[in-house]
Structure 1
Amino acid sequence: MHITHEIKENINTNIAVDTVTLDYEGRFLRRKKLTSDKGEDFLVELPETRSLNSNDGFVLDDGRIISINPATEPLTLIKHPNLTRIAWHIGNRHTPCQIDTTCLLVRKDHVLDDMLKKLGAELSTVHAPFIPEGGAYGHGRTHDHHG
């Protein structure tokens, strides 16, 4: 089994020999056995926990690169005339949020959905990769406080 200790950021995906599809939580790791989309097992052993992005790549010990593909997952699409107000409430809960010009996207959470409905938001479920904003200090993650 191959091992990777290195992540290459913003790779040209044409140089990758394979991909590994990971959901939002799966893209936050330090040490884990993964299986590529073509079925190759490899061990990720990084010096510290990392938040991985689309178009990052694992550099295997033989020099090959496996690119990271964000998985499709169930999300709540949020629409509201005052998205800034809704974004404030989401941020106040330290909840990761993907921001678009006409909507917000968060991971499915019935407690958060209930709060957003009470604020008058229009909610729908979509299935898409979740790629939230990275955070004020350059980190890709915050801690969810709502479970």
Structure 2
Amino acid sequence: MGGPEMAPHTPPLAPRSSPGLDRSGEQPATAGERNVVSDAPVITTARVDVRETDLSGRERDSLMLTAEERRWGRRRVTTTAGRALVLALPTGSVLRLGSVLHVAADWYVVVEGALEPVLAFTPASPEEALRVAFEVGNRHFTLALDGERVLVPDDPAMGHLLTRLDVRFDRVRAVFVPIGMGHRHER
């Protein structure tokens, strides 16, 4: 039923943008490592409403994540400054760019988007934009807007789709912020 272009996007088997997201292929943790991880702050919610005055005088640290990684709410991560955090977010959580994950006495951590491989194109017309958006969504992929450009994951199915639709595209690296990520239908 359907072909590979119908399959939902699965993360590529490539190095993670943030060191320490998993231990695949590595040696088991040593007792010393377990102590470091157990001392790591456990993050159960992301805060987007932190006032600048609450952060003044503190060192800004960041957690660089791809769009897919921002959906993985339960894991150990390492910030750009090498600090360990443990994410224990509610199921279905999606981290938003700019969210403050943790505020310590002298530092804080903000979510930032990592550059990732995407296919980018500028639609020739509104009709082309709608046609591509429909086809991408019909295959259960996400898309993002970057100025006048449309971005889709650099996946073979998306490359085949854009080629079949005769849409000229470039392979680039960009921060991918899918439309509607984290949106909920609440009353």
Map 1:123-134; keep pairs closer than 5 Å.
123-134=169-180
Letter in 2 for 1:108: D
**Structure 1 position 87 matched with structure 2 position 130:** no
Number of residue pairs aligned between Structure 1 and Structure 2: 138
TM-score normalised by structure 1 residue count:
0.81
Distance 1:58 1:33 in 2: 13
Going by fraction, where is helix more abundant, 1 or 2?
A: 2
Aligned mate of 2:183, from 138, 143, 147? 138
**Structure 1 position 38 matched with structure 2 position 81:** yes
TM-score normalised by structure 2 residue count:
0.65
Structure 2: runs of 5 or more not aligned: 1-39
* Contact 1:3 1:44 survives alignment (8 Å): yes
**Structure 1 position 120 matched with structure 2 position 166:** yes
Report the RMSD for the aligned CA atoms in angstroms. Answer: 2.5
Distance 1:76 1:69 in 2: 20
| Corresponding position of 1:145 | none
Letter in 2 for 1:138: H
Structure 1: runs of 5 or more not aligned: 140-147
Cα deviation, 1:68-111, whole Å, max 9, x if unaligned, reads: 01000111002342211111111111211002453310110112
Going by fraction, where is strand more abundant, 1 or 2?
A: 1
Letter in 2 for 1:126: V
Distance 1:50 1:63 in 2: 27
| Corresponding position of 1:144 | none
Structure with bigger gyration radius: 2
Letter in 1 for 2:44: H
**Structure 1 position 105 matched with structure 2 position 105:** no
